[in-house]
Amino acid sequence: MLRLDPTLQARITVRHGIDPDPDGKCVVYWMQRAQRAMNNPALDAAIEVANSLRKPIVVFLGLIPFYPHANLRHYQFLVEGLHDLAAGLMARKVGFVFRRYPDHRLEKFCKEVRPAIVIGDENPLREPESWRRKVAKHLHMPLWTVDADVVVPSSLLAKEQYAARTIRPRIHAQLARFLTMAPDRKAHVPWSPTRRPHPIPSTQEILSGIPLDRTVAPVGGFKGGTAEAVSKLKRFIRDRLNGYSERRNNPGLQGTSQLSPYLHFGHIGPVTVAVEILKADAPQCDREAFLEELIVRRELAINYVRFNPRYDHLEGCEPWALRSLKTHAPDHRQHRYTERQLENAETHDPLWNAAQKQMVLTGWMHGYMRMYWAKKILEWSGSPGAAFEVAVRLNDRYELDGRDPNGYAGIAWAIGGKHDRAWGPERPVFGKIRYMSYESTSRKFDSRQYIASIIGLERGQLR
């Protein structure tokens, strides 16, 4: 195996083969999760390998229209990032080939360009992981994958961690090694395309004619791409990082970074964000509070998805929680709502309705409201298992950062006590699961102002 930078080497998983084929014509980076040209360890590894082999490198990105629960809202955000990606790759002297369905398959592209090795980025979710395993069986050249969207490589944690308190010291012990901004390497050998390259079409042109779910509309408050992600990060540091530790759980204030969609699609990397936060002129308590969420909590969620095959089902939660929920499953529920009623925000609770509408209208929901939102679905559903499934479907359908480890871990925490502890005294329906009520939640912030802001947003969009 080629000798690479040790920090990059620690992120690599060898899926198939080891040494590159000396007769190969190039290095292919199969880009999926980390859709960016800056601070991307998978791209860095691919460039370093290509330079060592004295071969050109090309990034291949195929638009797959059948991803579970994904719809037009998600695809438009993804495609909006392509122009930034293409420009960034050109600056690093890397080729870029973008193809959409039905020409989106990696195997077909590899037959055209005959690579010495394929390097991909890792994704712990079930579907992308299954793609990597299938591809590894059919490729005739080595396949490596790189853990590019975490600060500390997930493999170093070895197993599923019980809670933040168990993963935190393990992550902190590795931060000095991995929380560094490596220079963006450039390719030494230029890429000569097998076909005449075409400019990236407009978003509308790319998405027209592709068979995908168009029932959920794109949103105007978020635009995809690395440039927009960097801009949002700068505005957050300038305007809202100071005081973050106190404001972060107040949905009535715009105190959060709203970077989660960009992290989900890989338009910006966690190391980039963390380094900028560390350099910021803000109180240490605020920087530490933000980094706890960005690194420890986010990578706890990724750890959960990587090592727990039932991450999107109630059965993936802790035994104590499952026993307690089973005991209280027959309990009387004062209110019961169908999935359609929940989706349409047709409950008796104006705070919950506002949170649901915020998600549907904007593609984003404040993190504190996500906890309340999921717990009420538990309270109003026929069973804990049904509540978990409904929460997953609604989250994945409407959130721009749906279909993400953070979302699955958050639902598992709210409904199944994941990464939490047993709480007493026991309550009907919830058992030992941590409880949240309209009254207690409303006391923590101005819920009337929050509800009014969502009503105003709804009326504005309906005009």
What residue spans define the domains of the chain?
6-148, 226-307, 314-462
Rounded (10°) CA dihedral 110, 113, 116, 117: -40
Fold for the domain defined by 6-148? Rossmann fold (3.40.50)
A 10 A CB-CB count for 214 gives 13
Residue 209 reports pLDDT greater than 90: no
CATH class of the structural domain 226-307: mainly alpha
Per-residue model confidence (pLDDT) at position 1: 64
| Mean pLDDT calculated for residue range 405-415 | 98
**Residue 146 confidence (pLDDT):** 98
Tens digits of residue pLDDT in 123-170: 999 999 999 999 999 898 999 999 999 999 999 999 999 999 999 999
Q: For residues 44 and 159, give the distance between their C-alpha atoms in angstroms, rounded to a whole number.
A: 27
Q: Quote the distance between the C-alpha of residue 262 and its chain's center.
A: 8
**What confidence score (pLDDT) does residue 281 get?**
96
Q: Which fold has domain 314-462?
A: DNA Cyclobutane Dipyrimidine Photolyase, subunit A; domain 3 (1.10.579)
pLDDT of the residue at 112: 94
Over the stretch 326-345, which tens digit does the pLDDT of each residue have? 999 999 999 999 999 999 99
Q: What is the pTM of this model?
A: 0.96
| 8 Å CB contact between 429 and 328 | yes
Using one digit for the tens of pLDDT, what is the confidence trace for 168-193? 999 999 999 999 998 899 999 999 87
Rounded Cα distance between 384 and 21, Å, is: 52
Helix boundaries (H) for 142-283: 164-172, 175-178, 203-207, 226-239, 244-247, 260-264, 270-279
463 has pLDDT over 80: no
What per-residue confidence (pLDDT) applies to 252?
A: 73
